[in-house]
With several copies, the nearest count.
Chain A
Amino acid sequence: MSETDTRTTEETERARRPGRERGRDDGKFGRYGGQYVPEALMPAIEELTDAYERYVLDNEDGFMDEFRERLAEFGGRPTPLQRADRLSERYDTEVFLKREDLLHGGAHKLNNALGQVLLAKYMGKERIIAETGAGQHGTATAMAAAHLDMPCTIYMGERDINRQRPNVFRMKLNGSEVKPVTTGRGTLKEAISETMRDWAATVEDTHYVIGSIVGPHPFPVMVRDFQAVISEEARGQVVEKTGGLPTDVVACAGGGSNTMGAFADFVDDESVALHAVEAGGSTLEVDEEAGVAPNSASLYAGEEGVLHGARTKLLQDSDGQIMESHSVSSGLDYAGVGPELAYLVDEGRVRPVAVDDDAALEGFHRLSSTEGIIPALETAHAFGFLEDHHEELGERVVVNVSGRGDKDLDAAIEETDQRDVANAPDMSMFTGGI
């Protein structure tokens, strides 16, 4: 507890959400978690841990109040819980959609980015850095930084920059500097290294905004706490609408932030089944020789290891080298996963499921054409799951719509073109891109 804390315990996050204690004290989720970082970053990590405890957990200086207010006003919270009429009919079960796609920026990413940038402000930091792969976390961070008037630098692999130009443009419009990373293969992992490098040199005045529930403690708990607003709202909404808890909650999982966000307040409700849907990519087989796993199913198919500051489940070869992962959705394309999810899977509390590229694309077209919501390709995996597994589900299912698909139009064309997607519209005029 902080010395300047003058609020009653009722007002603090700890008191409000006792179900979110996992990992808060020591950053450990059973065997997972921890702080595997270079010594130079340890002080920053400790400073952040302290700030997390004071501002997030104890609401010092009214941090959480301001956070929630900004999430509401700037972000557009609460997002609705919508009954999906046609999916409900199709699966003969009540399907509810948690509409994170309606959040400012078009995905749940802002919940976290806004929380961290605001926290950096409370900590007196003067600069924000972040890495981004496809650009979703980068755009969310750039928006939050502009909103809170913080200079911001986003590291992005050069190859990703070329593939995700609209997102690069959005970050620049929001006043962020986008630094191309030219080392190695020019993708997310090099961008992460480069951001770490920047942080290691600038920790004193800079905060590194990590984009999912990964990385060293306190990131996994902190990002979870910022994203937990999803399940906090959804739980209240589903109870209000139906008078009871859902039987199932479904969310896609890359790093797992929308996933833990959607699960957090349901973990203690033992009757609620939690399904983490990972990218099955083209196949779950791995090519050890090439170091490639053509999927991103680290919960389902990964092994314990240490990556980017935490012990968790990873896609790695037998030496411990990290595999190149793959998914039709770049936002799920990550070889690791949040340590809390790894733990909850081992505990049997969360069920990991892999949905392959084909099923995800069908899910994409199904939600678009029958519900009038074009989902992100990441999110589409959750709907691929629904189609394949609906008979295993109970009578009231909440699916987290983690983001909208406007960013994915080009990819959807290309990927739909490459295969026989049964429920795709005639897209002949778009062959070759938009």
Chain B
Amino acid sequence: MADTGNSAAIAEAFADGPAYVPYLVVGDPDYESSKAYVEALDRGGADVIELGLPFSEPIAEGSTIQEALVRSLDAGMTPDRFFAFAAELDVEAPLVCMTYYNLIYQYGDSEARSASNASGEAASTGPRPFVERAAAAGIEGLVVPDLPAEEADPLREACDEFGLDLVFIVAPTTRADRLDRLMDRVSGYVYVQARLGTTGARDDVSDQTTESLDRLREYDVPKAVGFGISTGDHAERIVAGGADGIIVGSALVDTVAEGVAEDLSTDEVADRLEALSRELKDGAVRGHRSRTDTVESA
């Protein structure tokens, strides 16, 4: 698979210049506000948008995003509403769904499932119905943080069938043999985890990021760095360090949480998200320019 993805739009997003890839939890804090927020990201310059579909046991998230997932679930988010949301969105950037494997695996004909269970056989719908439905809703890629490459073949097949990309995360601790296994299966872009730990906004730029990018240099899939990016400055340095894009989650989710805590209007929060997006995007662009400059001046 490697560099050639299924989604032309995603490939294009990384094609020229750095990609700004923001993440929000769909339905946080409610369906309608959330739609306004995602659209604000788009206006703010998003190249790809990651939409979080909340799962009840989000083992890979920091507490910021975990709280957002709870808000969304409490407000009634389900996979079907998520797909409706995606379909209704008025945005230019291609959409990637980020969720946990159980929701993907379970999706489908629930009656068939419970029938098979009653008959004593295990249900085995598998990931295909979810991917089919996602494609229909306009989703062009998936990130599944609890699905390692070793368990990914059924999902990979379904993605290929319906033209979705399947994004994998590479961690600072990922060893060489696993890297090959991952890179064999990835498409669209690779999500480079900037540091150990789970998601959450931090202030410094980690050495681990640089090392990871170095190790990934030989693979020519786009490399989007995430985990802890919160300012334009960060974005700039990370892209300057070689990233093809930046993924920003907690900093944006924090903005939504602030809106909840301070009881801000949807417009006010949307404006802040748009402004932050611009800052991040601009930072990424500056970082890219400085790299090109360096390359040119070299």
Chain B residues with CB under 8 Å of A196's CB are: 59-60, 198
Q: Is B133 an interface residue (CB 8 A)?
A: no
Which positions 48-107 of chain B face chain A at CB distance < 8 Å?
55-63, 66-67, 70, 73, 78-80, 100-107
Shortest beta-carbon distance from A186 to chain B in Å: 11
A-B contact count (CB 8 A): 144
Chain B residues with CB under 8 Å of A308's CB are: 57, 59
Q: Is B289 an interface residue (CB 8 A)?
A: no
Shortest beta-carbon distance from B138 to chain A in Å: 20
Segment of A33-41, A65-73, A114-122, A395-403 in the binding face? A33-41
Shortest beta-carbon distance from A277 to chain B in Å: 19
Given A37-B148, A39-B170, answer yes or no on A183-B67 (Cβ-Cβ < 8 Å).
yes
Contact across chains for B148 and A42 when beta carbons are under 8 A apart: yes
Chain A residues with CB under 8 Å of B63's CB are: 183, 194, 197
Shortest beta-carbon distance from A255 to chain B in Å: 14
Q: Is B239 an interface residue (CB 8 A)?
A: no
Contact across chains for A184 and B196 when beta carbons are under 8 A apart: no
Contact across chains for A36 and B146 when beta carbons are under 8 A apart: yes
Partner of B193, one of A40, A204, A320: A40
Task: Return the chain B residue nearest A30 by Cβ.
Answer: B122
Given A183-B67, A193-B58, answer yes or no on A40-B173 (Cβ-Cβ < 8 Å).
yes
CA distance A304 to B122 in the complex (A): 6
Shortest beta-carbon distance from A172 to chain B in Å: 23
Shortest beta-carbon distance from A418 to chain B in Å: 28
Segment of B2-10, B109-117, B215-223, B258-266 in the binding face? B109-117
Shortest beta-carbon distance from B227 to chain A in Å: 9
For A, the interface residue count at a CB cutoff of 8 angstroms equals 42
Which positions 285-329 of chain A face chain B at CB distance < 8 Å?
291, 303-309, 314, 316, 318-322
Task: Return the chain B residue nearest A346 by Cβ.
Answer: B122
Contact across chains for B102 and A320 when beta carbons are under 8 A apart: yes
Contact across chains for A321 and B148 when beta carbons are under 8 A apart: no
Q: Please name 6 pairs of A and B residues whose Cβ atoms are closer than 8 Å in the assembled complex, sorted by A.
A: A38-B145, A196-B59, A197-B63, A304-B123, A319-B79, A319-B106
Contact across chains for A201 and B56 when beta carbons are under 8 A apart: no
Contact across chains for B173 and A203 when beta carbons are under 8 A apart: yes
Dominant secondary structure of chain A at its interface with chain B = mixed
CA distance A33 to B99 in the complex (A): 20
Q: Is B204 an interface residue (CB 8 A)?
A: no
Chain A residues with CB under 8 Å of B59's CB are: 37-38, 192-193, 196, 308-309
CA distance A322 to B101 in the complex (A): 12
Task: Return the chain B residue nearest A189 by Cβ.
Answer: B57
Interface string of A30-71 (1 = CB under 8 A from B): 010011111110111010000000000000000000000000
Partner of B60, one of A31, A200, A202: A200
**Interfacial residues, chain B to chain A (CB-CB below 8 A):** 55-63, 66-67, 70, 73, 78-80, 100-107, 110, 113-114, 117, 122-124, 145-148, 150-151, 168-175, 178, 182, 193, 196-198
Contact across chains for A192 and B57 when beta carbons are under 8 A apart: yes
**Interfacial residues, chain A to chain B (CB-CB below 8 A):** 31, 34-40, 42-44, 46, 183-184, 189-190, 192-194, 196-197, 200-204, 291, 303-309, 314, 316, 318-322, 346
Given A42-B178, A203-B173, A322-B57, answer yes or no on A193-B66 (Cβ-Cβ < 8 Å).
yes
Contact across chains for A306 and B60 when beta carbons are under 8 A apart: no
Chain A residues with CB under 8 Å of B182's CB are: 39
Shortest beta-carbon distance from B61 to chain A in Å: 7
Given A31-B122, A303-B123, A306-B101, answer yes or no on A39-B58 (Cβ-Cβ < 8 Å).
no
Contact across chains for B146 and A305 when beta carbons are under 8 A apart: no
CA distance A184 to B73 in the complex (A): 11
Chain B residues with CB under 8 Å of A37's CB are: 59, 146, 148
Chain A residues with CB under 8 Å of B122's CB are: 31, 303-304, 346
CA distance A87 to B66 in the complex (A): 44
Shortest beta-carbon distance from A303 to chain B in Å: 5
Contact across chains for B174 and A39 when beta carbons are under 8 A apart: yes
Contact across chains for A321 and B56 when beta carbons are under 8 A apart: yes
Chain A residues with CB under 8 Å of B146's CB are: 36-38, 306, 309
Partner of A38, one of B60, B73, B79, B117: B60
Shortest beta-carbon distance from B200 to chain A in Å: 9
CA distance A349 to B106 in the complex (A): 26
Chain B residues with CB under 8 Å of A38's CB are: 59-60, 145-146, 169, 171, 198
Please give me the 7 A-B residue pairs with the lowest Cβ-Cβ distance, nearest first.
A320-B106, A201-B197, A318-B110, A40-B171, A43-B173, A38-B60, A306-B102
Contact across chains for A36 and B171 when beta carbons are under 8 A apart: no
Q: A34-B151, A38-B146 are in contact. List 9 more A-B contacts (CB 8 A).
A: A31-B122, A37-B146, A40-B197, A43-B171, A190-B66, A197-B197, A202-B196, A308-B59, A320-B102
Interface centre among B102, B113, B168, B175 (most CB of A within 10 A): B102
Shortest beta-carbon distance from B252 to chain A in Å: 19
Task: Return the chain B residue nearest A196 by Cβ.
Answer: B59
